[in-house]
Amino acid sequence: MEIDALLKASISLTPASAKRSKREPYTIDMIVAIHKQLNLSHPLDTAVFACLTTSFFATAHAGEFTIPRLDAFNPAIHVKPSNVSDTHDRQNLHMKTFFLPRTKSALEGEEVSWAKQTGPADLEEAFTNHLRINEPPLDNALFAYRHNDSYHPLTKAKFLQRLTSAMKAAGRQPVSSHGIWIGSTLKYLLRNVPFDVVKIKGCWSSDTFLAYLRHHAQILAPYMQVTPALQEQFLCHTMNLPPVR
């Protein structure tokens, strides 16, 4: 089949140096399990959960919302409260938008966004709670948290350390930070969000996007049926997608 051939080609054309072992994805169930292990009246836990849910639902990398080291915060390249805005479309649908001043693929910055969800993984409540508990200054790191009489920017190491301990406490196997980005991509695809929309949202480059989809029959199922329109949609999205990240 044409689709199968395209997917196989995406694997064979990917350089060996760029291939990685399959990463386990974060899931909503996993986020809920972490939520139960955190104290959301504690400054650090509040910042960690807000960062997790924002990264997941914005389909962003954990490193884009955290800081490499405590002394490494740079307002010119790291996201701050002043980089957050609320937007509405013509149907008055609300989105929370975050301008990332610099990413690995966009040195001049790019925007990511999320919409309100429901349930224990409600990221809007998590984000609002973080702002209420920590009150990060507008020119500080977005997920800075109160520490004694000052603020600490949320480092990637501290973020992952707290997630790992929460998952172990919940009886779960810890998952790598890359699993947040992958899990978000899978979540939106399994909601039947179109391939091209998810690709743009997650800033996937075409080869890695196809290589990862090859292992997920549930995502491909609607596009593998006899309905011509679905097959044409899939081919359209996979045959002409320029690299983004």
Over residues 70-84, the pLDDT tens digits come to 999 999 999 999 999
pLDDT greater at residue 230 or residue 47: 47
Tell me which range, 156-160, 173-177, 237-241, is most confidently predicted by mean pLDDT: 156-160
Question: What are the residues facing 227 on neighbouring strands?
Answer: none
Rounded CA Rg of the chain = 19
Describe the crossing of helices 43-57 and 28-37 by its angle, rounded to 10 degrees.
170
The answer to whether 128 and 59 are in contact (CB under 8 A) is no
Residue 19: how many CA atoms within 13 Å on its side-chain side? 8
The answer to whether 55 and 180 are in contact (CB under 8 A) is yes
Residue 143 in this model has a pLDDT that exceeds 70: yes
Q: Averaged over 136-157, what is the pLDDT?
A: 96
pLDDT greater at residue 121 or residue 34: 34
d(C-alpha 130, C-alpha 160), whole Å:
18
Residue 43 in this model has a pLDDT that exceeds 80: yes
pLDDT given at position 232 = 55
Residue 154 in this model has a pLDDT that exceeds 80: yes
> Given the structure tokens 């690709």, which residue do they identify?
199
Nearest to 20 by CA among 215, 161, 231, 170: 215
Helix (H, G, I), strand (E, B) or coil at 67: strand
Tokens of 187: 């979540």
Q: Averaged over 196-218, what is the pLDDT?
A: 64
d(C-alpha 153, C-alpha 132), whole Å:
16
Backbone φ, ψ for residue 109 (5° rounding)? 95, 160
d(C-alpha 124, C-alpha 53), whole Å:
9
Per-chain mean pLDDT for the chain: 80
Name the band, by pLDDT with cuts 50, 70 and 90, for residue 4.
very low
pLDDT given at position 172 = 93
Q: Name the maximum alpha-carbon separation found in the chain.
A: 63
pLDDT given at position 220 = 63
Nearest to 186 by CA among 152, 212, 161, 157: 212
d(C-alpha 193, C-alpha 226), whole Å:
20
Residue 192 in this model has a pLDDT that exceeds 60: yes
Residue 231 in this model has a pLDDT that exceeds 60: no
Name the band, by pLDDT with cuts 50, 70 and 90, for residue 94.
confident
pLDDT greater at residue 96 or residue 231: 96
Backbone φ, ψ for residue 33 (5° rounding)? -65, -40
pLDDT given at position 67 = 96
> Given the structure tokens 């980089």, which residue do they identify?
83
> Given the structure tokens 């196997």, which residue do they identify?
173
Helix (H, G, I), strand (E, B) or coil at 151: strand
Q: Averaged over 218-242, what is the pLDDT?
A: 55
Nearest to 183 by CA among 165, 163, 168: 163
